[in-house]
Amino acid sequence: MNEMKYVSTRGGQDGLGFQDAVMTGLARDGGLLVPERIPDVREKLADWKDLSYPELAFEIMRLFATDVPEEDLRGLVTRAYSTFMHSEVAPVRKAGKVWVLELFHGPTLAFKDIALQFLGQLYSYILSKRGGRLNIVAATSGDTGSAAICGVRGQERVNIFVMHPHGRVSPLQERQMTSVTDANVFNLAVEGAFDDCQSIMKALFNDLAFKDEFSLGSVNSVNWARILAQIVYYFYSAFRVLEGTSGAEAVQFSVPTGNFGDILAGWYAKQMGLPVRRLLLATNENDILARFFHTGRYVRGQVVPTVNPSMDIQVASNFERWLYYRLAQNPAAVREKMAEFAATGAMGIDLRGASGASDEIMAGTSDTKRTLATIRKYWEKENVLLDPHTAAGVFVAEQYDDREDPTICLATAHPAKFPAAIEQATGKPNLARHSILDALEGAPTRCEIVPNDVNAVREFVRRNAGA
Ligand SMILES: *Cc1c(COP(=O)(O)O)cnc(C)c1O
């Protein structure tokens, strides 16, 4: 088997093995790490289509994680998905004209578990081989924090420091994080907004001396392992839906998008040879990506809070990976575009191109009113309760109903995580419940309030990082 190496989109790092790419997180030149080639798996599709979720995950991941011995990789995958509450891990079901891919059966009820249960296992494995410790520093607006904490809680060689904006995440999301009181878990409520948390995180990673001294690690979707784990469910669901739809030869996916990580995994699946006609990118009012795919202009706007907060992002970090391929894998061109965007808040590229790539991603927007109406409609007509992120994707899928191909809508969170929006949409309180969330009521919590200041957070990490 050919060894897979990783390179930075900005050209400053190359030749990294998979394990080094995972431990590095954000590339040291500020770019993102990508595999140096994308394997073509068209010849394997027939053999893969009846595999169980963990078996399929193993087959896909071994192409990218060539420096992990196969038996070890099999163990990591099996352990990661044994925590899921559904035997299929990621089941699909028909709802009206679309298929809903349920990605929320993991321990924290959001699709982030699919990647972070795996990444937690992977960190533990790599550290047990190499020795040493890892200090994960993360910023969250809600779902990433709890999924990441759940992936590494109790691990001996890992500490995790998760910053959330004080008083600005939902009470339920806050409790999901702060009720984990293992000694290696530190919740920091930063007196600022989510953007402040994210810029503190970036400042700590860009302090290379600090990053090296404390072995900082990343669980955000800048980490390649997260994208890799997410490629799997595109294959898994396409196999199920193609089998269940007579005459269908390809599928399309609709993806509620924030940081562009989830839909990017679908893009890789398509490049690998999965028959995907189109990827539909759904945004809420924070529509920088939808505007880009309509006009070719990438222009930063003001973030507005919405009913689907995990999509409230203006600058999508994984967009740089897509841009890298779009610019013919030319790091100098990526550096130029990213510098222009950093300096002016805007940049543009020609989307027409000769390759026909302009319609492989089509974008649409669902505002709060449409999202709530979609939740209500699917509840009343199909007896399916969609969370507000999923509903935005379903709304956009309905706008692109012009092809015969079956459409798979990614359901990224369990509706019980967003009870206020569900009540607003349906008029019914307590419709969306889950025993895992009910059990958090009154649980002891641990959280440190810190000022909105890089030095305060740096000192906190220094004091608590351990040897
Ligand atoms: C994180 C998240 C998203 C956005 O995913 P990206 O990979 O950031 O595009 C959508 N829905 C939910 C529920 C999420 O937690």
Per-residue three-class SS string for 286-314: CCHHHHHHHHCEEECCCCCCCCCHHHCCC
Cβ–ligand 1 distance for 309 under 6 Å, the answer no
Nearest CA to ligand 1 atom 4: 258
Q: Which residue, by CA, sits nearest to atom 14 of ligand 1?
A: 310
CA distance 211 to 203: 10
Rg of the chain on CA atoms, in Å: 21
Ligand 1 binding pocket includes 256 (Cβ within 6 Å): yes
For residue 92, which of 399, 407, 428 has the smallest C-alpha distance?
Answer: 407
pLDDT of residue 466: 74
* Of the candidates 26, 24, 6, the residue with the CA atom closest to the CA atom of residue 16: 6
**313 CA: nearest ligand 1 atom:** 8
Atom of ligand 1 nearest to the CA of 417: 13
Q: Does the Cβ of 261 fall within 6 Å of ligand 1?
A: yes
What ranges in 138-223 are assigned the alpha helix state H?
A: 143-152, 171-178, 194-206, 208-213
For residue 70, the CA-to-ligand 1 centroid distance in Å is 30
- Using one digit for the tens of pLDDT, what is the confidence trace for 104-163? 999 999 999 999 999 999 999 999 999 999 999 999 987 899 999 999 999 999 999 999
* Token output for 28: 């040291």
Q: Could you tell me the pTM of the whole model?
A: 0.96
Could you tell me the distance, in angstroms and rounded to a whole number, from the CA of residue 395 to the centre of ligand 1?
Answer: 16
Counting every residue, how long is the chain?
467
Calculate how far, in angstroms, residue 46's C-alpha sits from the geometric centre of ligand 1.
30
The minimum-distance atom of ligand 1 relative to the CA of 387 is 13
Distance (Å) from CA 97 to ligand 1 centroid: 23
Taking 50 as the pLDDT cut, the residues of the chain under it are: 354, 356
Ligand 1 centre distance from Cα of residue 131 (Å): 33
d(CA 200, CA 163): 9
In this predicted structure, what is the pLDDT of residue 354? 47
- Using the mean position of ligand 1's atoms as its centre, give its distance from the Cα of residue 59 in Å: 25
pLDDT at 357: 53
Q: Which atom of ligand 1 is nearest to the CA of 104?
A: 13
- Which residue in this structure is represented by tokens 């924070």? 286
Q: Are 315 and 260 in contact (CB under 8 A)?
A: no
| Ligand 1 atom having least distance to the Cα of 230 | 7
| DSSP letter (8 states) at residue 42 | G
Asked if residue 259 has its Cβ within 6 Å of ligand 1, the reply is yes
- Ligand 1 neighbourhood includes 413 CB (under 6 angstroms): yes
The amino acid occupying position 91 is P
Atom of ligand 1 nearest to the CA of 142: 15
Query: Does residue 286 line the site of ligand 1, with CB under 6 A?
Result: no
Catalytic residue ranges: 112
* Cβ–ligand 1 contact at 389 (below 6 Å): yes
Angle at 164 between CA 320 and CA 101, to 5 degrees: 60
What distance in angstroms lies between residue 353's CA and the mean position of ligand 1's atoms? 29
Determine if ligand 1 sits within 6 Å of the CB of residue 165. no
**Which pLDDT value is given to residue 353?**
62
Q: What is the SS3 assignment for 138? A: strand
Ligand 1 binding pocket includes 262 (Cβ within 6 Å): yes
Q: Name the residue of 233, 317, 389 to mutate for ligand 1: max ligand atoms within 8 A of Cβ.
A: 389
